[in-house]
Amino acid sequence: MKYISTRGQAPELTFDEAMLTGLARDGGLYVPESVPQMSAAEIAALEGLSYEEAAFRVMRPFIGESFADDEFRAIIERAYAGFGHAARAPLKQLDSGHFLLELFHGPTLAFKDFAMQLIGQLFQTALARRGERVTIVGATSGDTGSAAIEAFRGLKNVDVFILYPHGRVSEVQRRQMTTPSESNVHALAVDGDFDDCQARLKDMFNDFDFRDGVRLAGVNSINWARVLAQVVYYFTSAVSLGAPHRKVSFTVPTGNFGDIFAGYIAKKMGLPIDRLVVATNQNDILHRCLSGQGYHKGPTHPSVSPSMDIQVSSNFERALFDAYNRDGRAVAQLMDELKAGGFEVSQGAMEALRESFDSGRASEAETLATIKATLAQSAELICPHTAVGVKVADEQRVAGVPMITLATAHPAKFPAAVEEASSVHPPLPPRMADLYDRPERVTRIANDLAALQDHIKGHIGA
């Protein structure tokens, strides 16, 4: 299995090389050269398996020779052992045709644990075998950073630096990043917004001297291994509702387009998905683009669903790559135009995107109203990101096709918004009830490439 860059100018890599590299050297994102297929019989055979065994079967064809079967099975076991629910990704029913896929039973209470816990174990195994050490730098709007720190804390061959926008993450998110005491964990509060953090991260990857000097590795949602880990729960949930004999649809609260892109891969592998619905908050650049208005950056408006407050949706590049018939040069040009503010999507590419994706948006008021209504109607307390999904899903459902909305975080991760909407204070699960008592450790830093690079160089292996 070979991986190629969406901009067509970087070397082809194996799975483990693409994972350790993150962003391709031409600025592009790695994608599999071709998507492995699962037959209807293979999909049907997933029914009743443990989450771990289903994960092995779905991901194995993408791994190539990078990990032996026994090794890969053991990695998956370790990755999900710390989850607080035996089903890992349980389905809950909201009403007759609408289901919630609960993806928040991992150690940091958001779906990012599914990918990050796996990637931590994959990195550890690959680096130990190579006798190498890497510096992981990530940018986060809140959930990626806490998930990365939780996955890499204390690992021997890794330093992890996380850039988050100062003052723009929830207190639970911040504390999950600033309270781990391991010396290989470094939380950096940047004076800027999430797009600034993501831009500085890209700058670091494009500075090859720095990149090679500190052995930079990325675990942001552009890392292919993360997308792959997220493909699994599309299969397990669809199968439990009758796939491959029945079609299902998914609605996905979307920011960086990683989670929904995993659904697109599941569909390409052969899972009978009817519709994939992109749900955005008031930062609705993806919804506008998928509605034919081009992709044009604007200011980011802080919302009650901060993990989706994004203008540059990194993984959308992967969808564009396919929509432009895998023409790396065309994608590279669009991304150049994006730096200057935005781009128009060609008519052919627009048709391809509309073939795969529907979209909708939820305003702040609609998000809060949905939290309240869902509690009243279905006795479920949902987080604001999930509420964006539920609102859009309700608009887009069609009779006869079950709709699965991805519940991307636990309500206790965003207590202020949940309480404002519902008057109910969502308690933290008992296993992390002392989060507010643990001491914090964080460095406040300017939105400046040189300052960040100096700090990182000075704190590796500390």
Ligand X SMILES: *Cc1c(COP(=O)(O)O)cnc(C)c1O
Residue among 8 and 302 whose Cβ is closer to ligand X = 302
Indicate which residue of 112, 202, 267, 413 is catalytic: 112
Specify the stretch interacting with ligand X by CB under 6 A; choose among 44-52, 253-261, 353-361, 369-377: 253-261
Q: Binders of ligand X among 341-400, rule CB under 6 A?
A: 385
Binding residue count for ligand X, defined by CB under 6 A: 16
Candidates 123-131, 151-159, 256-264, 330-338; binding stretch for ligand X (CB under 6 A): 256-264
Q: Which of 257, 295, 321, 357 binds ligand X (CB under 6 A)?
A: 257
If the CB atoms of residues 66 and 230 are measured against ligand X, the closer one turns out to be 230
**Please, which residues have CB within 8 angstroms of residue 70's CB and are 6 or more apart in sequence?**
none
Q: Does 253 bind ligand X (CB under 6 A)?
A: yes
3-class DSSP state of 337: helix
Would you list the DSSP string of 196-211?
A: HHHHHHHHHHH-HHHH
CB of 383 to ligand X, least distance (A): 6
The reply on whether position 110 binds ligand X by CB under 6 A is yes
Segment lying near ligand X (by CB under 6 A), choices 6-14, 30-38, 203-211, 249-257: 249-257
Length of the chain: 462
Rg (CA), the chain: 20
Contacting range for ligand X; rule: CB under 6 A; set: 60-68, 129-137, 247-255, 371-379: 247-255
CB 333 within 8 A of CB 10: no
| Residue 143 near ligand X by CB under 6 A | yes
Of the candidates 278, 266, 275, 279, which has an alpha carbon nearest to the alpha carbon of residue 247? 275
Contact of 119 with 151, CB cutoff 8 Å:
yes
Q: Is residue 227 part of the contact set for ligand X (CB under 6 A)?
A: no
**Within 152-191, which residues bind ligand X (CB under 6 A)?**
none
21 binds ligand X per the rule CB under 6 A: no
Among 308, 371, 393, 404, binds ligand X (CB under 6 A): 308
Closest CA to 57 of 262, 236, 304: 236
Q: Per rule CB under 6 A, is residue 91 in the interface with ligand X? A: no
The one among 221, 249, 251, 303 contacting ligand X by CB under 6 A: 221
Say if CB 397 and CB 389 are below 8 A apart. Answer: no
Could you tell me the two tokens for 335?
A: 């991304």
**Using alpha carbons only, what angle is made at residue 76 by residues 70 and 78, rounded to the nearest 5 degrees?**
105
Type of residue at 239: V
Name which of 195 and 259 has its Cβ closer to ligand X.
259
The one-letter amino acid code at 364 reads E
Q: CB under 6 A: which stretch of 67-75, 90-98, 250-258, 362-370 binds ligand X?
A: 250-258
- Alpha-carbon gap, residue 226 to 230, rounded angstroms: 7
Q: How far apart are CA 188 and CA 449, in angstroms?
A: 13
Q: Which pair of tokens denotes residue 417? A: 């918004």
The smaller minimum CB distance to ligand X, of residues 66 and 314, is found at: 314
Nearer to ligand X among residue 110 and residue 243 (C-beta): 110
Give catalytic status of residue 2 as yes or no. no
User: Least distance in Å: CB of 266 to ligand X?
Assistant: 14
User: The tokens of 2 are what?
Assistant: 């070979």
Q: Are 165 and 247 spatial neighbours (Cβ–Cβ below 8 Å)?
A: no
- Residues engaged in binding ligand X (CB under 6 A): 110, 112, 143, 221, 253-259, 307-308, 385, 408-409
Catalytic positions, written as ranges: 112
